[in-house]
């Protein structure tokens, strides 16, 4: 282990690490992530980062909350990006900590572009996205040889908070498994679109909240009944929505499963 840790790059003053904290379980952090948390002078973190992960910082690290949770007060994205530049120009080791992976619906690309435009050296530390790790903890493989050889990741809302203007017809007809991030608010419209474009009303759906954490919850339902079953479950966003027959495998593979509501 020591020889691996010695090869972790130095976290130099005046640089920024864009780091993915994973879906929630601190055990899913990478070695680079843990070392970055230990070395950072200042941590700029999002709402979905747990206290257990924040506790891994050194005692002198300054913690700056950036929000970024759907429907909740948050700093403007450009203000966050500019703050990273400012902190790095002050000679600090700046850790930008995001839930999941910085480049998967995490706006890490926008922040990296701002850093690049201001000649701030940066490093991207990937994290396990909830669309991968959250499914695994729910007993749902993202791909399975007997069900699907492709999967689609899509956000449930665009920059303006509306249903994104992706080609829902092509997604409905072409992707056997659809993983929808941040889609609870628009679940009625999204499920309606998928059924209108040919998906079976009986197709399995899972809705997962607090993925990989001790209070993980999952609703298993169908496209036709997802809206009603979600409303009756008490499950709160943010949550991940999974559409496809891989959902049925959770009965056999749900090693970590805590089901909030599983209508038959």
Q: Which of 78, 98, 97, 76 is nearest to 86 (CA)?
A: 78
Enumerate residues 6+ apart whose C-beta is below 8 A from 6.
Answer: none
Q: Which of 161, 94, 154, 95 is nearest to 129 (CA)?
A: 154
Pairing of strands 239-243, 204-209: antiparallel
Q: Are 93 and 9 in contact (CB under 8 A)?
A: no
Verify whether residue 185 is a known catalytic residue: no
Question: Active-site residue among 25, 41, 68, 101?
Answer: 68
Question: Active-site residue among 46, 92, 101, 218?
Answer: 46
Question: Active-site residue among 25, 41, 98, 182?
Answer: 182
Q: Are 17 and 123 in contact (CB under 8 A)?
A: yes
Verify whether residue 46 is a known catalytic residue: yes
Residue pointed to by tokens 């690309």: 109
Write out the two tokens for 128: 């396990």
Verify whether residue 182 is a known catalytic residue: yes
Catalytic residue positions, numbered:
46, 68, 182
């Amino acid at each position: 282990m020591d020889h691996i840790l010695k090869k972790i790059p130095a976290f130099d003053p005046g640089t920024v690490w864009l780091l993915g904290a994973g879906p929630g379980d601190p055990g899913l952090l990478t070695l680079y992530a843990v070392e970055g948390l230990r070395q950072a002078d200042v941590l700029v973190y999002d709402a979905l980062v747990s206290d257990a992960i924040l506790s891994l910082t050194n005692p002198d690290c300054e913690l700056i909350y950036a929000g970024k949770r759907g429907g909740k007060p948050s700093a403007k994205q450009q203000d966050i990006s500019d703050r990273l530049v400012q902190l790095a120009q002050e000679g600090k080791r700046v850790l930008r900590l995001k839930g999941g992976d910085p480049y998967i619906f995490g706006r890490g690309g926008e922040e990296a572009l701002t850093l690049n435009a201001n000649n701030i050296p940066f490093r991207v530390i990937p994290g396990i996205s909830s669309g991968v790790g959250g499914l695994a903890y729910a007993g749902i493989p993202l791909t399975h040889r007997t069900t699907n050889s492709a999967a689609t990741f899509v956000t449930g809302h665009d920059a303006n908070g509306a249903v994104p203007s992706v080609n829902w017809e092509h997604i409905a007809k072409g992707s056997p498994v659809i993983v929808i991030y941040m889609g609870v608010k628009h679940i009625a419209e999204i499920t309606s679109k998928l059924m209108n474009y040919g998906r079976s009303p009986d197709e399995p759906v899972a809705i997962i909240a607090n993925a990989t954490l001790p209070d993980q919850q999952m609703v298993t339902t169908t496209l036709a009944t997802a809206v009603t079953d979600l409303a009756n479950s008490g499950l709160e966003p943010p949550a991940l929505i999974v559409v496809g027959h891989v959902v049925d495998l959770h009965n056999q593979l749900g090693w970590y499963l805590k089901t909030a509501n599983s209508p038959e």
